[in-house]
Structure 1
Amino acid sequence: MGTVLDAATKDANGSLLTDKKVTVVFVLGGPGSGKGTQCANIVEHYGYTHLSAGDLLRAEIKSGSENGTMIQNMIKEGKIVPSEVTIKLLQRAMNESGNDKFLIDGFPRNEENRAAFELVTGMEPTFVLFFDCLEEEMERRLLSRNQGREDDNIETIRKRFRVYMESSLPVIEYYNSKGKVRKIDAAKPVEEVFEAVKEVFTPSNAEVAA
């Protein structure tokens, strides 16, 4: 099975990178697992475009567009933004980037997101980069870096962990069953974690090489 997908025949609306081979890597891990730091390293060393679903939603709200107003209202009402809305924002960002290699960070957040992404785009990730870290270590990191923020209290942090465990782990288990998960021990120092990441992304690795 090829690991780099041809979007030309698979995109549901015919607009996404229609003449390129596209590499998509989902980046998953709990709050405080160091995803953002490592994504920045991957972008710098391997030329990927880093897309954060949360950042795209916030940018759309800030733009004042009709779509952004709808997203903002849904969030205010405590509703979950439909997967298709987030996926369309991801597709647009991929199109506009001019790149053909993407890190999608913090998405899919749950099984429904995952299924919708594959249905709407016709693509699966080349692999899933999973930053595995003990809850105690993530808790320690969040408490040390978020001092003074409203969301740095232990109850809120533990609630975020519970949501992550309940929602994201089924996604990781699904892709693991397909042999697509590359698990990284994220509890180690940043430099050591990136050494492990480099082993996954090295061009000699047939899983990743375009």
Structure 2
Amino acid sequence: MANVERKTVDKSPLKGIPIVWIIGGPGSGKGTQCELIHIKFGFRHLSTGDLLRHEVLSGSTRGTQLYKLMSTGECVPYEIVDDILAEAMVAKVAKHSTDGTLQGFVLDGFPLDLEQAQAFEKDIGSPKAIIFIEANDTVLEERLLARGNFDDNKTSIEKRLHNFYTKTVPVVEHYGDLVKRINAERPKEEVFADVQKVMESLSDPVSQ
């Protein structure tokens, strides 16, 4: 493992709290659906990318170590990603333990591949549902180009799509019936109507 310090995290407060993974290609609208889930269902929206960037910007020893990895294009070890995720989740539980507003966690664009999925299950726990927001390549490319971010160019998009199909789609195949496929080639409100059905089924005794 790369030289990044690990922290011991008491994960017991996370026991029994539902976790949902949101998977989808670049431009599929994962972040939008995660925010809608947060608003409607009280699930806290977490993005590993945001958490890693926040740690780097914090100036901590671990953040400096992460910066050295990330700035050279190296992957952050999954155990470190899990440490940071667990810390954020436990902090959210502590913050909202008395007001009852935390109903679960929704992880944005997670996991990236099967190895990361299995590491998460070992370190933190298993997802209660996996939602696959899917759209064809043409739709994804058009959305990304229209968005106009600095990294949304044709070459970058092709590489990201390739990584998605070779690394992330096998997660969908591995988890089988736990994965709920939702067509994202529609307005976000229509997509969320189907996402909402999945979320509501999590508390349905028949679906357990």
Fold in common (TM above 0.5): yes
Matched positions, count? 193
Query: Relative to structure 1, is the Cα distance of residues 184 and 138 closer, same or farther in structure 2, using a 3 angstrom cutoff?
Result: same
Deviations 1:48-103 (A, max 9, x none): 00110111000000101111111110112221100001101110011000235000
Of 92-101 and 14-23, the range deviating more from structure 2: 14-23
Contact kept, 8 Å, 2:144 with 2:152, in 1: the verdict is yes
Amino acid at match of 2:179: V
Cα separation, 2, equivalents of 1:72 and 1:208: 46
Change (3 A) 1:166 1:48: same
Question: Are the aligned partners of 1:20 and 1:100 in contact in 2 as well (CA < 8 Å)?
Answer: no
Q: Is the 8 A contact 2:42 2:103 kept in 1?
A: no
The whole-number CA distance in structure 2 between the counterparts of 1:192 and 1:135 is 20
Between the aligned partners of 1:200 and 1:56, the Cα distance in structure 2 is 26
Structure 2 counterpart of 1:18, which letter?
P
* Partner residue in 1 for 2:84: 89
What SS does the corresponding residue of 1:31 show, helix, strand or coil? coil
TM-score normalized by the length of structure 2: 0.86
TM-score (normalised: structure 1): 0.86
Q: Does 1:41 align with 2:44?
A: no
How far apart are the structure 1 equivalents of 2:57 and 2:9? 27
CA apart distance, 1:166: 0.8
* Contact kept in structure 2, 1:202 and 1:208, CA below 8 Å: no
CA distance, structure 1, for counterparts of residue 39 and residue 14 of structure 2: 25
2:142 is matched with which residue: 140, 143, 151?
Answer: 140
Question: Which residue pairs with 1:30 in the alignment?
Answer: 25
8 A contact 2:9–2:86 mirrored in 1: no
Specify the alignment match of 2:132 in structure 1: 130
- Percent of aligned positions that are identical: 38
Q: Quick one: distance in 2 between partners of 1:40 and 1:69?
A: 30
Shift of 1:152: 2.1
Distance 1:53 1:207 in 2: 31
Over the residues paired in the alignment, what is the CA RMSD in angstroms? 2.0
Whether the 8 Å CA contact 2:33–2:192 is kept in 1: the answer is: yes
Alignment of 1:11-90 (within 5 A): 15-18=10-13, 20-90=15-85
Pick closer, same or farther for the CA change 1:81–1:196 going to 2, 3 Å. Answer: same
User: Which residue in the other structure is 2:96 paired with?
Assistant: none
One-letter amino acid of the counterpart of residue 199, structure 1: K
Residue 21 and residue 185 in structure 1: after superposition, are their counterparts in 2 closer, same or farther (change >3 A)? same
Whether the aligned pair in 2 keeps the contact of 1:126 and 1:208 (CA below 8 Å) is no
Contact 1:54 1:106 (C-alpha < 8 Å) held by counterparts: no
In structure 2, relative to structure 1, the CA distance for the partners of 1:93 and 1:14 (3 Å cut) is closer
Q: Deviations over 1:141-184 (max 9, x none)?
A: 011111xx3212111111111011111011111111xx200111
Q: 2 CA distance for matches of 1:103 and 1:49?
A: 6
Q: Deviations over 1:166-204 (max 9, x none)?
A: 11011111111xx20011101111111111111111268
Give the 3-state SS of the residue equivalent to 2:67 in structure 1. Answer: helix
